[in-house]
Amino acid sequence: MTSPTRSANWVWTYPIRSSEKLPMKSSSELAGAASKVKKALGLKSSKSSKSVGSGKAKRPISIGELMRVQMRVSEQTDSRIRRALLRIAAGQLGRRIESMVLPLELLQQVKSSDFPNQREYEAWQKRNLKILEAGLLLHPHLPLDKTDTASQRLRQIIHEASGRPIETGKHNESMQVLRNTVMSLACRSFDGSASETCHWADEGSIESSTLSNASRSLL
């Protein structure tokens, strides 16, 4: 074993041999890093959820939790939306947020299994379609041409969804039709070309009360 040497400031040091390898990160360290990511996203780990009520002092309430309580959003709904946003972010790497239509992405990512029953899921789906109707048909960023086929198609989709929910799988044909229709309406520009910025809930086009109700409908 290499004997220690003493430096001028009286600190014992051990010389490191070139053949000695630095220790690899342990599984506990990797798990700790993953826990930090979940914490930043507001997702609770199974370990932390089990420790609730164990007698330890409660952690101070976060701003996100305070907003959830003030908006009267249940923990189940909050968790559902957080996980959906996480899936959206994972699938949209490299894209700007301005190029996405949030209700459309939620319709694709949130499944009926995320709800207590089918009726709640269908009601939620209809609310999100109503948001698209308000932002793209009733209060569009740019005036709609009466002969525009995309607006007519979206009206038909929303009407049909009132009787039967839309199949929203990623590779489902009905979802692809909805996506193409919504994006063609949301990404219009003054000169008629496709824009990189989508407009589906512009404050200048929609009244603040309508916009507030729309944001609640996303939940």
The SS3 of residue 188 is: strand
For residue 208, what pLDDT is reported?
53
Residue 28: its pLDDT value, please? Answer: 62
Q: What is the pLDDT at residue 129?
A: 94
Per-domain boundaries in the chain: 62-217
- Residue 14's pLDDT is 44
Position 8 scores a pLDDT of: 46
Along the 219 residues of the chain, how does pLDDT read in single tens digits? 555 555 444 444 444 444 444 445 555 655 665 565 556 555 555 554 444 455 555 667 777 777 767 767 778 877 888 888 888 888 777 778 888 899 999 999 898 998 999 999 999 999 999 999 999 999 888 889 888 899 999 999 999 998 899 988 778 899 999 999 999 999 988 877 778 888 887 655 555 555 555 555 555
Q: What was the pLDDT predicted at 40?
A: 55
CB 161 within 8 A of CB 129: yes
Question: Which secondary structure element, helix H or strand E, spans residue 206, and what is its range?
Answer: none
